[in-house]
Amino acid sequence: MNVAALVSGGVDSSVAVHLLKEQGITPDIFYIRIGMEDEEGYIDCPAEEDIEITQWIARHYGCRFEEVNLHQEYWDNVVSYTIESVRKGLTPNPDVMCNKLIKFGAFDDKRGREYDRIATGHYARTECVNALMPYCVKADMSNTHAITQSHNHTIFLTTAKDPVKDQTDFLSQLEYRQISKLMFPIGHLMKSEVRAIAHEAKLPSADRKDSQGICFLGKINYNDFIKRYLGEREGKIVELETGKVLGTHKGYWFHTIGQRKGLYLSGGPWFVVRKDIEENVLYVSQGYDPAAAHGKEITLMGFRLLSGKWKMESGELVDELPDGVADVKFKIRHTPEFHQGHLSRLPDGLVRIESDEPIQGIAAGQYATIYDNDARLVVASGMII
């Protein structure tokens, strides 16, 4: 197999290369350079150590190394999307867009199409549903390749072994052509197992901390980033239930639904439960579990099936969301917990999730990821409105 491995210098992608080599695959290693630079030349995403470790991995395993500059594509597709979403009062998810449009979009357009497979250090798996054949590094690559090309089988994105590290929600907007080409060598491992392999192999990334936060920010403070492009505008903070003005804020774009920290109000805890974009007003509710901070109905736009098919409880694959109501597991944010609910169609292409239990912090602009009832197959996703 002709494999490209996307390596960031972290422990997960480093171990992914190690496991590929154990299976007799020598990938070409690519480091994707992205950063926070605009027309004013602003950069604050140090990459020197990441590149040094990635180059060490390439030399150690005898892999060809190449650095790919996707800065402009990143700015045009991910950073601009984030700024405009925040300006509209939404809560964007740049990690979802980064995976869809950059790592498995722009990279594939520029270099990835030369390769049979693209391997990464994501905690996820893919599976050929009809054959029940796990599509991971331990599978027979030639057979898996043949299955992918067959019309009788469907490759699904599936959850990782480690429920805490599972990243399928960040991959939930990928297209089928992207999913069917991916390899996730560490998807069948717990994080502790990945660390142990890195230590045993004496990899320089073995003790590196996991990256945190939004993928494009690096070490940049989120509010500093937002302030740079949207500025500040003072507005009122109002208690939803009483209409009482409790304080002021510096712009609704610094806050998101469900937020607790950063309000600087006494007598809390306080949660942001609503935003008035036109008037620049934040509405808050008090208490650790305020009713106004919860909801059971979630409406989605842009709903689509990841693999172009829906798996029914009977095991049957259908090409669209079935009529009536479907029982599903779902997530609306990056957590190990799943919610149980019921999915149904609405007019104008919208879809509604009715959660069995109230959910805190339903934020427009985020993505809901839909799983089958076993919380294994990722079947669909859509943007919360």
Read off the pLDDT of each residue in 325-342 and give the average, rounded to a whole number: 93
* Residue 249 amino acid letter: H
Query: At 106, is the secondary structure helix, strand, or coil?
Result: helix
Mean pLDDT value across residues 288-314: 87
Question: If we measure between CA atoms, which residue out of 144, 169, 193, 134 comes closest to residue 375?
Answer: 169
pTM: predicted TM-score of the whole model, two decimal places: 0.89
Query: Helix (H) and strand (E) counts for the chain?
Result: 10, 20
Of all residues in the chain, what percent carry a pLDDT higher than 90? 67
Closest C-alpha to 316, from 382, 240, 379, 385? 379
Q: Which residues contact 142 (CB under 8 A, 6 or more apart)?
A: 1
Residues 162-206 pLDDT 10s: 999 999 999 999 999 999 999 999 999 999 999 999 999 999 999
Taking 70 as the threshold, does the pLDDT of residue 213 lie above it?
no
Question: Is there a contact between 36 and 218 (Cβ–Cβ < 8 Å)?
Answer: yes
Find the range with the poorest average confidence among 118-122, 141-145, 312-316, 374-378.
141-145
Rg from Cα positions in the chain: 22
Which active-site residues does the annotation give?
98, 215
pLDDT (mean) for 49-78? 93
The whole-number pLDDT of residue 39 equals 54
DSSP calls for 175-226: -HHHHTTEE-TTTTS-HHHHHHHHHHTT-TTTTPPPP-S-TTTTTS-HHHHH
Q: Tokens 């990143």 appear where?
A: 74
Confidence of residue 312 (pLDDT cuts 50, 70, 90): confident
Say if residue 152's pLDDT is above 90. no
Contact 160, 191 (CB under 8 A): no
Residue 41: pLDDT band by 50, 70, 90 thresholds?
A: low
The amino acid that residue 283 corresponds to is Y
- pLDDT score for 108: 93
**pLDDT band for position 3 (cuts 50, 70, 90):** very high
Q: Is the pLDDT of residue 147 over 50?
A: no
Give 225-263 pLDDT, tens digit per residue.
Answer: 889 889 999 999 999 999 999 999 999 999 999 999 889
Over residues 339-349, mean pLDDT: 92
Using a 10 angstrom Cβ sphere, with 0-12 exposed, 13-18 middle and 19 or more buried, the burial of residue 265 is middle
User: Is a pLDDT exceeding 60 seen at residue 217?
Assistant: no
- Residue reference for tokens 């693209």: 118
Relative orientation angle of helices 191-200 and 11-22, to the nearest 10 degrees: 70
Separation between Cα atoms, residue 372 and residue 326, nearest integer Å: 9
Structure confidence at residue 62 as a pLDDT band (50, 70, 90): very high
> Do strands 351-360 and 294-305 pair parallel, antiparallel, or not at all (unpaired)?
antiparallel
Q: Which domains does the chain have, with CATH numbers?
A: 3-200 (3.40.50.620), 232-288 (2.30.30.280), 294-384 (2.40.30.10)
According to the model, what pLDDT value does residue 134 have? Answer: 43
Cα–Cα distance between 31 and 29 in angstroms, integer?
7
Residue 289 has a pLDDT of 81
* Residue carrying the six token digits 């040094």: 52
Q: What pLDDT score does 218 carry?
A: 57
Single-letter residue type at 110: K
CA 327 to chain centre: 23
The confidence band for 303, taking pLDDT boundaries of 50, 70 and 90, is: very high
Element of type H or E holding 3: strand 3-6
> What are the CA-CA distances from residue 14 to residues 21, 65, 188, 355 (Å)?
11, 13, 15, 39
Q: Is the pLDDT of residue 12 over 60?
A: yes
Q: How confident is the model at residue 139 (pLDDT cuts 50, 70, 90)?
A: very low
User: Average per-residue pLDDT in the chain?
Assistant: 87
pLDDT at residue 95 greater than cutoff 60? yes
What is the rounded distance in angstroms from the CA atom of residue 55 to the CA atom of residue 287?
Answer: 51
pLDDT on residue 215: 52
Q: Which residues does 256 contact at the CB level (< 8 Å), separation at least 6? A: 91, 272, 361, 363
